């Protein structure tokens, strides 16, 4: 089985444009893309209350399982480069780096106001059945951990289907997220989720050599999709691709900018986003 060749890790807070960016990049003929293999990343830690993992958690057995899972995925696809995107990796980049020390990181940042508004819709809607189907058909659940995920699957399939207004926890989980939701409400939880995700990602990336990471803004990709994708391909050491260029021209448009209710008052969000939002240049 061939080893991984400069695997690509797309990281960013939930609802920051990581999916959109990945969907364009996966058109590249050399890329095998796995959409959010979060249970592979959680291997050996199925009962963990959050998504944090440290470099020390990357034991030889854990490292071998994750790498072989990704190698097999790329091999089945017949592609030389593997790419994945998992927003919860924001909280475990030291662990990711220990598992994939040759990885290239693409960090996507979006205005926290927009990410919060978009995340609110995800927290309070019925779950996407396609996501569950994808996880089951791609055999993402490690067999040894599968029994421990039964409750989570039941919650997502039954609980969130019947009672979406209860705002079951959605997306990347950091210590204290449930307490924020319970004490300050779901809007606060969405905003703090963005803030803590970006903070953790920036801290993790600070320990990774500059030559193996690139940060792009969602807003810049929206304004110049072809130019931004060309720059990303160059950074990832992927040859220019007509498939990527053509899809960027047609898929990325203003209609993808706002897929949520924009009626939230910034005054209700900003206290949770600052000062990080200003530090990132979104004031």
Nearest to 16 by CA among 86, 124, 125, 111: 111
Residue 126 exposure: Cα atoms within 13 Å on the Cβ side: 7
| Band of pLDDT at residue 127, cut at 50, 70 and 90 | low
Q: Give the residue from 7, 159, 158 showing the smallest Cα distance to 69.
A: 7
Show the domains of the chain with their CATH numbers. Answer: 8-254+265-279 (3.40.50)
As a whole-number percent, the residues of the chain with pLDDT over 90 amount to 72
Considering the entire predicted model, what is its pTM?
0.88
- d(CA 129, CA 71) in angstroms, rounded, equals 27
Q: Where would I find the beta strands (DSSP E) of 65-126?
A: 81-85, 104-109
* Omega of the bond leading into 275 within 30 degrees of 0 (cis): yes
Top pLDDT among 129 and 179 is at 179
Q: Report which of residues 39 and 203 the model is more confident about.
A: 203
Confidence band of 133 (pLDDT split at 50, 70, 90): low
Under 8 Å between Cβ of 52 and 175? yes
Residue 87 CA to residue 21 CA, distance in Å, equals 13
Distances (CA, A) of 187 to 16, 50, 250: 16, 19, 32
- 66: pLDDT strictly greater than 80: yes
Task: Among 17-21, 158-162, 176-180, name the one with the lowest average pLDDT.
Answer: 158-162
pLDDT at 1: 38
* pLDDT greater than 50 at residue 172: yes
Instruction: Identify each DSSP E strand in 130-265 by its residue range.
Output: 213-217
């Amino acid at each position: 089985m061939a080893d991984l060749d400069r695997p690509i890790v797309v990281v960013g807070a939930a609802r920051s444009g990581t999916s959109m960016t990945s969907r364009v990049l996966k058109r590249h003929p050399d890329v095998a893309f796995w959409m959010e293999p979060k249970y592979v990343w959680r291997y050996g830690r199925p009962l963990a209350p959050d998504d944090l993992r440290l470099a020390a958690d990357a034991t030889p057995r854990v490292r071998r399982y994750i790498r072989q899972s990704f190698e097999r995925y790329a091999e089945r696809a017949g592609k030389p480069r593997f790419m994945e995107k998992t927003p919860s990796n924001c909280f475990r980049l030291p662990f990711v780096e220990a598992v994939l020390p040759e990885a290239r990181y693409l960090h996507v940042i979006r205005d926290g106001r927009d990410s919060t508004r978009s995340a609110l819709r995800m927290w309070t809607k019925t779950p996407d059945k396609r996501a569950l189907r994808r996880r089951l058909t791609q055999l993402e659940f490690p067999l040894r951990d599968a029994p421990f995920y039964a409750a989570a699957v039941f919650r997502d399939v039954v609980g969130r289907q019947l009672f979406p207004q209860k705002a079951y926890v959605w997306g990347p989980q950091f210590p204290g997220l449930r307490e924020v939701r319970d004490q300050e409400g779901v809007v606060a939880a969405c905003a703090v989720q963005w803030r803590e995700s970006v903070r953790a990602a920036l801290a993790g990336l600070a320990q990774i050599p500059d030559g193996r990471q690139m940060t792009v803004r969602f807003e810049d990709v929206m304004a110049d999709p072809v130019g931004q994708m060309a720059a990303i391909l160059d950074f990832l050491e992927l040859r220019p691709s007509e498939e990527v260029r053509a899809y960027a021209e047609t898929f990325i448009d203003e209609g993808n900018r706002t897929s949520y209710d924009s009626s939230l008052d910034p005054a209700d969000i900003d206290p949770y986003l600052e000062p990080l939002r200003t530090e990132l240049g979104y004031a």
